[in-house]
Amino acid sequence: MIFLGIDPGTTKIGYGIVEYQNNAFSCLAYGIIGKPGTDRQDSFLDTATRIRELITQFRPVAAGIERLFFEKNQKTAMAVSEMRGVILATLAQCGIPVHELTPLEVKKSISGYGRAEKRQVQLMVQRILGYAEPIRPDDAADALAIAISCASAPR
């Protein structure tokens, strides 16, 4: 089964696509959606288009997206919330079930400890997927962690 993970942001959205088969995960794709300097409306449209392309290419059975848990900067929180709305609407239009996961839930799913450091989670994702080198950029590594957590979520 194939799962899509999304780490929403204002200008960079991490995505990761994993396959879970025979009790093992493999990475099919990861990267960043977003073009710095793009105006908001174009960014919304580009994000929706890219997500549809990923869904068409990989046919995930479900998607995981990070739930905003706490944000100190309200201006940033609002912008990320707006982008999450675009992403959630696109997933709904494509008929993809969504699992919203807090950072704590993702950390616990990946490392067994909800207060794990970001680096610890990234190392575990690297090990789970069999990569010798760290996965870069961080937003994509986070999205892969979300995809793995989505695959591990009860259905």
DSSP string for residues in 72-120: S-HHHHHHHHHHHHHHHHHHHHTT--EEEE-HHHHHHHHHS-TT--HHH
Q: What three-state secondary structure class fits 133?
A: coil
> What are the residues facing 31 on neighbouring strands?
15
Establish whether 39 is a catalytic residue: no
Active-site pick, 42, 46, 138, 139: 139
Residues 6+ apart with CB under 8 A from 63: 3, 4, 5, 6, 91, 96, 97, 98, 99, 150
Active-site pick, 42, 46, 66, 82: 66
The CB-side HSE value for 119 (13 A sphere, CA atoms) comes to 0
Could you give the residue numbers annotated as active site?
7, 66, 139
